[in-house]
Chains A and B, each alone.
Chain A
Amino acid sequence: MHEGLNQWTFVFAAYAIGVSATGALVAWSWMAMRRAEARRERSRER
């Protein structure tokens, strides 16, 4: 351990970034999939 750093600050930052990035990846991929599949359905109906 160096300079008396509070290790929990680094731990929380790593978890917050990891969870947010993974959550954003899942949400974005899911919404992109739903959007693309809705587009395909619309193209069938035209």
Chain B
Amino acid sequence: MPKGADHRLTPFMHGYANPARFLRLARTLTAPLLVAGIVIATLALAWGLFDAPAEQLQGDSVRILFIHVPAAWLGMGAWTGIAVASLTELVWRHPLAGIAARAIALPGAVFAALCLITGSLWGRPAWGTWWVWDGRLTSMLVLLFLYLAYIALADAATRDGNDQSRIPAIFGLVGAVNIPIIHYSVLWWNSLHQPPSITMGKSAMAAPFLLGLLAATIGFSLIFGGVVLARMRAILANQQAEARLRRRAMEAVDA
């Protein structure tokens, strides 16, 4: 990175390195993000379930789109978030980056699992099968396993009292290689899964579906953001409680 860019980035990044300042922002945002996300996602899903038109070829099963696609995007986006946070932790030693990566992992895993389950439920009526071992489905399943491995690694580091361990961060960066594989799998290999309907600036989707999908994605993304903030607050609070208890124990020994 050019030196000038690093100078511009550093004050912004370290502005929220202070946990107290971050916690003030997180306390303000957590509940509003969750409430707004739940309201928007509920409205979008209700519209998708009861009011959206059936599709000409796929019939009513197309309604699964409003839950499957946001789950897929968030499952992939969350690992991208883990990779960016891991890079920030490794390169700039930002104190909250590792906490953010750990907080992202569980919601990322839940959305990756939801993508696989709802995709399977869509595949049975649309393709006549619950599962095929093609590039898209298999690479998405690999992503779920990567999440589970990351969560196990991060938990093991915390249990060993080594919250600063860099191993989960390295794993988070290496695992990011799977994200472009998932994205391009439908173009690289033969697949029952359709190619992307939405690409940069273009959509093959009818306008009502597109708007419903956009609303559902915004709703689930706000929920995701609220959950990540809540989990970051929980990790920070546990760390602070542990530090205080350790300090008290040391003082008691000294006395």
Pick the contact of B61 from A7, A19, A39, A46 — CB < 8 Å?
Answer: A7
Instruction: Name B's interface SS.
Output: helix
Tell me if B64 and A33 are in contact (CB < 8 A): no
Given A10-B124, A32-B231, A36-B237, the answer on whether A22 and B68 have CB atoms closer than 8 Å is no
Task: Assess the A18–B125 pair: CB atoms within 8 A.
Answer: no
Known: A10-B122, A11-B61, A30-B230. A18 touches B71 (CB 8 A): yes
Most buried by B among A15, A19, A22: A22
Determine if A5 and B125 form an interchain contact, defined as CB atoms under 8 angstroms apart. yes
Is B49's CB under 8 angstroms from A39's CB? no
Determine the chain B residues whose CB is within 8 A of the CB of A13 once the complex forms. 121
Q: Which of B75-110 contact A (CB under 8 A)?
A: 106-107, 110
Q: Which residues of A contact B (CB under 8 A)?
A: 1-3, 5, 7-8, 10-11, 13-15, 17-19, 21-22, 25-26, 29-30, 32-33, 35-37, 39-40, 42-44, 46
